[in-house]
Amino acid sequence: MNQPIIQAENVGKIFPGGGGGLWRPAPPDVRAVDGVSFEMTRGETLAVVGESGCGKSTLGRLLLRLIEPSSGRVLIEGTDITTLSGAEMRQMRRKVQMVFQDPYGSLSPRRTIAQLIAEPLQVFGLVKNRRQMRERVAELLTQVGLPPSVMDRNPRQFSGGQRQRIGIARALSVDPSFIVADEPVSALDVSIQAQIINLMQDLQQEKQFSFLFIAHDLAVVRHIAHRVAVMYLGQVMEIGTKRQIYEVPQHPYTQALLSAAPEARLDRPYRRIVLKGDVPSPTAVPEGCSFHTRCPLAQGICRVERPPLAQVAPGQMAACHFAAPNSLGVAAAGPSLDKSNSPRARA
């Protein structure tokens, strides 16, 4: 068993609602992430999926300590980063990098591509002079499929997909052991999405970094992840290998998500279940199981007692009192799931 690269232990984040005014009551706190625990090994891709407001982006930022957790610990290669000093944390940032969603907002328009990609290298003193810097930038650009000749251009001369390649090159520049990508393809056109997904997959296999891939699209995730965690209102509802999540989902929310995703094909792989109602606000997470307000299987106990995230199969955990394979019957239509053994799937 590999030593885990990332360990999240009961990580939580509450954004305080802020003080009220003289005439205004204090707004309620936002419970963005609530008691999330998992481990990731070297070379593993864990996808975090969920709808907007489920806390997936906050979780990604907590793991890099871009925001301070309210509770719990994050260990990177065994070091608890939540207690590191500023200077120590800066050194730690060499090992952890992030790729952002918006390729237009995340690259400074006033800098050249070379300056953007080389910045992390300079911060950590990994290049000694300009010639070395340009060599390294050229190498990184080649790795992400861009010609090195573009390094003196500005970001505005690039399309969304190309900008995302630049963002990836920048994250790779310091050779990190952990990369968080927050919705890296959701702003891209479909024909470009495939290019970026393939690129990230290739780079991950080659460089063997641990990869946390945050997405709302379950179909995208199926291509890139080894394991999948499904979040709802700040909590992990289900976590398991890709095969477990897609073929024997045990949490009703996972099943509902799978059945709601539109598919560009005629035979729908999952029987369709349309959940009633909206996602409750994270300022007012329901008592008991947070999913009970929308769950077709909810019973009395679900309104009172929050189910813990418990093991339901080796390597698969679900937070549901009535966790059972295919409990909503979404796979009843007999999904034509591809049974061929993917070389990337792990047991």
Partner 1 sequence: MSAPLLNVQGLCVEFGPKAAPIRVINDVNLRVDPGEAVGIVGESGSGKSITSLSILRLVPEPPSRIAAGSITFEGRDLLAMPKSQLRHMRGRDIAMIFQEPMSSLNPVMTVEAQIGEAIMLHERMSRAERRARVIQLLRLVGIPDPESRLKAYPHQFSGGMRQRVMIAIAVACNPKLLIADEPTTALDVTIQAQVLDLMKDVREKLNTAILLISHDLGVIAEVCERVLVMYAGHVVEDADIRSLFENPKHPYTRGLLRAVPSLTDERSRLYQIPGSVPQAGSIKQGCPFYARCDLRQNICAQTMPAMSRHSSSHQAACWVTQNLSEVRSA
189 binds partner 1 (CB under 8 A): yes
Considering the complex, what minimum distance in angstroms separates the CB of residue 145 from partner 1? 10
Answer yes or no whether residue 335 interacts with partner 1 by CB under 8 A. yes
Sign of CA dihedral 182, 184, 189, 190: negative
CA distance 296 to 165: 42
Is 315 exposed, middle or buried (CB count within 10 Å of its CB: 0-12, 13-18, 19+)?
middle
Nearer to partner 1 (CB atom), residue 158 or residue 178: 158
Closest approach of partner 1 to the CB of residue 184, in Å? 13
Q: For partner 1, which is the closer residue by CB, 43 or 335?
A: 335
Is the Cβ of residue 134 or residue 216 nearer to partner 1 in the bound state? 216
Of 76 and 215, which CB lies nearer to partner 1 in the complex structure?
215
Q: What is the DSSP string of 297-335?
A: T--HHHHHSPPP-EEEETTEEE--TT--TTTT-GGGG--
Q: Which of 69, 246, 252, 318 touches partner 1 by CB under 8 A?
A: 246
Query: For residues 195-234, which are near partner 1 according to CB under 8 A?
Result: 195, 197-198, 201, 216-220, 222-223
In whole angstroms, how close is the CB of 335 to partner 1 at the nearest point? 6
Q: Do 116 and 146 touch, CB atoms closer than 8 A?
A: no
Question: Using an 8 Å Cβ cutoff, are 312 and 250 in contact?
Answer: yes
> Using an 8 Å Cβ cutoff, are 240 and 251 in contact?
no
Kindly provide the residue ranges of all beta strands, DSSP E only, lying in 233-284, ordered along the sequence: 235-241
> How big is the site for partner 1, counted in residues (CB under 8 A)?
51
Nearest alpha carbon to residue 252 among 327, 312, 302? 327
Burial class (CB in 10 A: 0-12, 13-18, 19+), 25: exposed
Identify which of residues 72 and 249 has a Cβ nearer to partner 1 in the complex. Answer: 249
279: contact with partner 1 by CB under 8 A: yes
What pairs with residue 48 in β-bridges?
214, 229
Exactly one of 192, 313, 324, 333 binds partner 1 (CB under 8 A); that residue is 192
Query: Which range touches partner 1 (CB under 8 A), out of 4-12, 25-33, 134-142, 267-275?
Result: 267-275
Q: Among residues 17 and 308, whose Cβ is nearest to partner 1?
A: 17
CA dist 59 → 14, 66, 193 (Å): 11, 10, 23
- Residue 188 CA to residue 184 CA, distance in Å, equals 8
Minimal distance, residue 302 CB to partner 1, in Å = 18
- The H or E element that residue 36 is part of is strand 30-40
Determine, following the binding rule CB under 8 A, whether residue 162 of this chain makes contact with partner 1: yes
Instruction: Count how many Cα atoms sit within 13 Å of the Cα of residue 119 in the half-sphere of its side chain.
Output: 15
- CB 194, min distance to partner 1, A: 4
Segment near partner 1 (CB under 8 A), from 63-71, 101-109, 184-192, 319-327? 184-192
The single residue among 126, 194, 298, 324 that binds partner 1, judged by CB under 8 A, is 194
- Indicate the residue among 72 and 252 with the shorter CB distance to partner 1: 252
According to CB under 8 A, which residues from 32 to 51 bind partner 1? 51
Under the binding rule (CB under 8 A), the answer on residue 284 touching partner 1 is: no
Instruction: Confirm or reject binding of residue 107 to partner 1 (CB under 8 A).
Output: no
Residues 130-159 interacting with partner 1 (rule: CB under 8 A)? 159
Q: Are 179 and 195 in contact (CB under 8 A)?
A: no
Q: By the criterion CB under 8 A, which residues form the site for partner 1?
A: 51-52, 159, 161-162, 189-195, 197-198, 201, 216-220, 222-223, 246, 256-266, 269-270, 272, 274-275, 278-279, 294, 335-338, 340, 342-345
